[in-house]
Chains A and B, each alone.
Chain A
């Protein structure tokens, strides 16, 4: 089946620094990818829709200047958390729709901001 990878799987950074998370579709092309965030014991909340070749669409309440999304190719979307703070610590997961209906999810990236 289709695979979506994420890198890194885990990252620890200091408050005020920026962190980039990559999401790759390994054996299929994805013109659209979705970024979700999951806090402990909570569900996945959609942050933004990443569109190849155009600007991302952000959900209400998500700061687009803080969470920069770049979908530079048909297999790669990146999420950059700028000036990270401890409250940004979370599990970030990307997904991409396949050819037949299924959303393929990446394994997630656990971000800890100290």
Chain B
């Protein structure tokens, strides 16, 4: 079993749709949970980070962490064509520790 699992997609949605991206993990020691967005041939950029369980909202993005189920989600509301990218979940045990990435989900938002 991989340490972090994520549906690779590709996921294609119409503009304005709500997008749900999910990851599961096996290491119960993970405490920090992140979502990164990566455009083709670019480095990843941090979208959201959450410590432990709970929800966090930032504009059109909402991150949810359920440590009891080892399951994290990213919701994108009112999706835009500019949201088309690969979304990587990531997690680590401490704030200074190595980050373990999920395989990424490719998202296309169709105008």
Contacts and interface: CB of A to CB of B under 8 A. Distances in A.
B88 A101 contact: no
A102 B101 contact: no
Contacts of A44: 44, 88, 101
Given A43-B104, A93-B43, A108-B43, A101 B49 contact: yes
A100 B32 CA distance: 12
A74 B103 CA distance: 31
A48 B104 CA distance: 20
> Interface size for chain B: under 10, 10 to 19, 20 to 34, or 35 or more residues?
20 to 34
A60 interface: no
B95 A97 contact: yes
Given A32-B96, A46-B99, A49-B98, A105 B44 contact: yes
Interface in B69-102: 88, 92, 95-96, 98-102
Contact of A106 (B32, B43, B95): B43
Contact of A105 (B41, B43, B92): B43
Interface in A83-112: 91, 93, 95, 97, 100-103, 105-108, 110
B46 A107 contact: no
A54 interface: no
Interface of A: 32, 34, 36, 42-46, 49, 91, 93, 95, 97, 100-103, 105-108, 110
Given A36-B101, A44-B44, A105-B43, 5 more contacts: A34-B98, A34-B99, A44-B101, A46-B99, A101-B49
21 contacts: A32-B96, A34-B98, A34-B99, A43-B101, A43-B102, A44-B44, A44-B88, A45-B101, A49-B98, A93-B43, A93-B44, A101-B95, A102-B46, A102-B49, A103-B34, A103-B92, A105-B43, A105-B44, A107-B42, A107-B43, A110-B41
